[in-house]
Chains A and B, each alone.
Chain A
Amino acid sequence: MSAAEEVVTEAPAVEAVPKRAMTLGLGTSLVVLAALVLAPLFVKNFIIFQMTMLLIYGLAVLALNILTGGSGQFSLGQSAFYAVGAYTSAILMEHAGMNYALTLPIAGVICFAFGFLFGQPALRLSGVYLALATFALATAMPQLLKLHFVEHWTGGVQGLVVTKPDAPFGLPMSQDMWLYYFTLAITIGIYVASVNLLRSRSGRAFMAIRDNEIAASAMGVDVALYKTLAFGVSAAITGVAGGLGAIAVQFVAPDGYTIVLSISLFLGMVVGGVGWLPGSIVGSAFIIFVPNIAESISKGLSGAVFGVLLFLVIFLVPHGARQVALIAQQILGKLKKN
C-alpha cells in the first residue's frame, strides 16, 4: 500500500477479532460457570453483594463491548442508558408497585428505544465526534433527572429508595444471595444471547461495518440500520444492568450516574480486551476492585496509584485480558503436545 493511500483510508477504530476467539472454549466456560455458582456458598453477605455488582458492571461492559468491539462505534454515553434503566426499574417498583423481575424487560425495551433513537443523529458521526456526542448525553443525564417537572417521579436530588426483594417460594436464602443468583441467571442468559447475536447475520453485519464501512455497504449491508441497531441493543443491555444495579444498591440518585461511570465502563472494556466478550467480567473486576486496592495502598494518592496500575496493564498487555487468555491457551497447547 502506498503512503498516500494509507492516509486517506481510515484505519478501523477497533482491530478485528477472529470470530472463534470471541468466546471461551466449552471446558473453560463450564469451569468459570461452576466457580460463579459455587463461590457465594462460602463467603460473607458483603462479598456476595460485591460479586453481584461485578456481574452487573460486567453486563454493562458487555453492552459497550457489543457496540465498540462489535460495530466499531465508540460511546461515552453508557452511563445515561444505565441511568434510564435504573430509574425505570426504581419508578415502576416504587410508584407502580410492580414486581422487580418484571421491571427489567421494560427497562430493556425503553432503553432500546432510547438507544435506537439516539443512534439516528449519531449515524453521521464517527470516532471522536461520536465520542463527543455521547459524552454530551452522559453529562446532560444527571442534570435532566434533577429537573423540576420530573421531580415527582425521580425524587429529584434526593433520589428514590428501592426495596430489596426477598427470595421467592420461601427458599432458605439471604436477600443478597437470592439477588446474586437472580443476577447470575440474567447475566448468563444475556451473555449467551450476545455471543449468538455476534455470530448471527446481524453480528457479521456489525463486524463488517466495524472493519470497513464502505465495503460493508457495497456488499449490501444496511449500514444505517445496523449501526442504530447496535446502539439499541447495547443500550438495552445497559438498561437491564442499570435496573439490576438499582435493585442491588437499593437506591437511585442522579449523581450515581455521571460521566465517571461511563469512563469506568470504557476502562473495563479496554482492560478486558475490546471485542472479547468474556473479558467483560475481567474488566468489571478491574473497575470495581482496583480503586479499592489503590485506596488501601495510599489514601492521598489513590488516583495516581490507579493511574499507574492502569498504565502497567496497558503496557504489559495492550490488548487486555484477551491477550492473557491467548497466551495461556498457547502455553496449554504446548503442554498438551509434550
Chain B
Amino acid sequence: MELFTNQVLAGIATGAIYACMALAVVMIYQAIDHLNFAQGEMAMFSTFISWQLMQWGVPYWWAFLITLVISFAGGILIERLLFKPLAKAPVLTNVAGFIALYGIINSVAGLIWDFTIKQYPTPFGSSPFLGSQLISTHQAGMIGVTILLLVALYLFFQFTRIGLAMRAAAALPESARLVGINTSWMIALGWGMASAIGAIAGILIAPVVFLEPNMMLGVLLYGFAAAVLGGLTSPLGAVVGGFLVGIFENLAGTYIPGVGNELKLPIALALIITVLVFKPAGLLGRPIVKRV
C-alpha cells in the first residue's frame, strides 16, 4: 500500500509539470487552433536563459521573473515574425512551421550551451516534505506553483477586460473584430502567455530531469497527451489531464509487468486513445458541433 501511495504522489508531482505544459499547449491551441510542436523547445530555451542568468549571479527568483518577461516577449516575437505571415497558409504548412521552429531552437540551444547535462537548482530544497517520506519539498512546490498558476489564469480570464477579449477573439474572431477587439494582437498575447507558462514548466522540471537541450521532449509529449485527454478547449481540463496522465504513467510503470520505462509512453497514449474513442472531445472539452 505504501508503494501505491508513493507512486500516486510521485505521479501527482510529475503530473503538475505535464499540467503546466498542457496549459501552455491549450493557450496556443485556443488562440490559433494548432498544437505547437515547438512548445517544449521554447520552454527548454527559457529554462536555459534562467540558468544563464543564475550563472551570472542573479538570485533565483529574480532570474525566474526576468525569464518570464523574456519568454513572454520571445513568444510574441515568434508569432509576429514567423507565424503571422503563415496565418492564411494551409493547416499542415503551419505544422511544418512548428517542426522547423523545433529544429532551429534545439540546434541553437545545443550550440550555445552544448549537450552536456547540467544541474539545476531548486528553490524549495529536496528534503522530505513536512517530515513525510512520501514526497519531497520540490515536488510539493511543483504542485503548489501549478495550482497557483491555474487560479491566476482563471482570475485573468474571468475578471479582466483583456482576458475577456482574448476569450472572445478565440471563440468568435469575426464578431470580436466587429466589437473592436484587435484579434491579431490577442493571438500574439496568447503566444506570449503560452511561452511564459512553458517557461514555468521548464524551470520547475529542470531540477528533476536535469538541464539539456532535449530535456523537454518527453514532457511535451505527456503535455500533449494531457491536453488532449482533458479537452483542448478547457484549461481546467488540461490541468486535470496532466495530473491523471502523471498518475497513470507512474502506476503503469510500477504495476503492469514488462512495461518499464520504455513502454510507459505508448501505454499512456493507448489509454488516452481509449478515452477519446468514447469521449472524442476529451474529459472536460466542449463537444464540437458540426453544421453542414
Contact = CB atoms under 8 A, between A and B. Distances in A.
B172 A4 contact: yes
B107 A302 contact: yes
Interface SS of chain B: helix
B225 interface: yes
A7 B103 contact: no
A21 interface: no
A256 interface: no
Interface string A56-85: 000000000000100000100000000000
Contacts of A9: 290-292
Contact of A68 (B82, B92, B106, B276): B92
A135 B102 contact: no
B162 interface: no
A8 B266 contact: no
Contacts of A98: none
A52 to B, nearest CB: 26
Interface string B62-95: 0000000000000000000010011001111101
Contacts of A74: 92
Interface string A298-315: 001111111110110011
A143 B266 contact: yes
Given A300-B111, A318-B86, A270 B266 contact: no
A139 B265 contact: yes
A202 interface: no
B100 interface: yes
Nearest to A319: B90
Nearest to B273: A133
B224 interface: yes
A218 interface: yes
A118 to B, nearest CB: 11
A5 B224 contact: no
A140 B263 contact: yes
Interface of A: 3-11, 13-15, 68, 74, 121, 124-125, 128-129, 131-133, 135-136, 139-140, 143, 146-147, 212-215, 218, 263, 266-267, 269-271, 274, 300-308, 310-311, 314-315, 318-320
B95 A121 contact: no
Interface in B109-131: 110-111
B280 A274 contact: no
Interface string B42-60: 0000000000000000000
CB-CB nearest 3 A-B residue pairs:
A303-B107, A3-B174, A136-B269
Q: How large is the interface on B (under 10, 10 to 19, 20 to 34, 35 or more residues)?
A: 35 or more
Interface string B215-237: 00000010011001000100000
A159 B35 CA distance: 34
Q: Tell me if A's interface is mostly helix, strand, loop or mixed.
A: helix
Contacts of B99: 263, 266-267, 307, 310
Nearest to B225: A132
Contacts of B256: none
B101 interface: yes
Contact of B276 (A133, A214, A304): A133
Contact of B292 (A125, A132, A214): A214
Interface string B260-274: 001101100110110
Interface of B: 35, 82, 85-86, 89-93, 95-97, 99-104, 106-108, 110-111, 171-175, 178, 221, 224-225, 228, 232, 258, 262-263, 265-266, 269-270, 272-273, 276-277, 280, 288-292
B100 A311 contact: yes
Nearest to A4: B172
Nearest to A311: B100
The CB with the most chain B CB atoms within 10 A, among A3, A318, A319, is that of A318
Contacts of B92: 13-14, 68, 74, 266, 269-270, 274
B111 A301 contact: yes
A237 to B, nearest CB: 19
B93 A6 contact: no
B171 A140 contact: no
Contacts of A303: 103-104, 106-107, 110
A310 B108 contact: no
A241 B288 CA distance: 37
Given A3-B175, A124-B280, A214-B292, A132 B273 contact: yes
Nearest to A133: B273
A121 B277 contact: yes
Contacts of A307: 99-104, 107
Given A125-B277, A302-B107, A303-B107, A132 B272 contact: yes
A325 to B, nearest CB: 16
A302 B178 CA distance: 45
Given A9-B290, A9-B292, A133-B273, A3 B96 contact: no
14 contacts: A6-B174, A7-B171, A13-B91, A124-B277, A136-B270, A215-B292, A267-B96, A267-B99, A270-B92, A303-B103, A307-B101, A310-B97, A318-B90, A319-B90
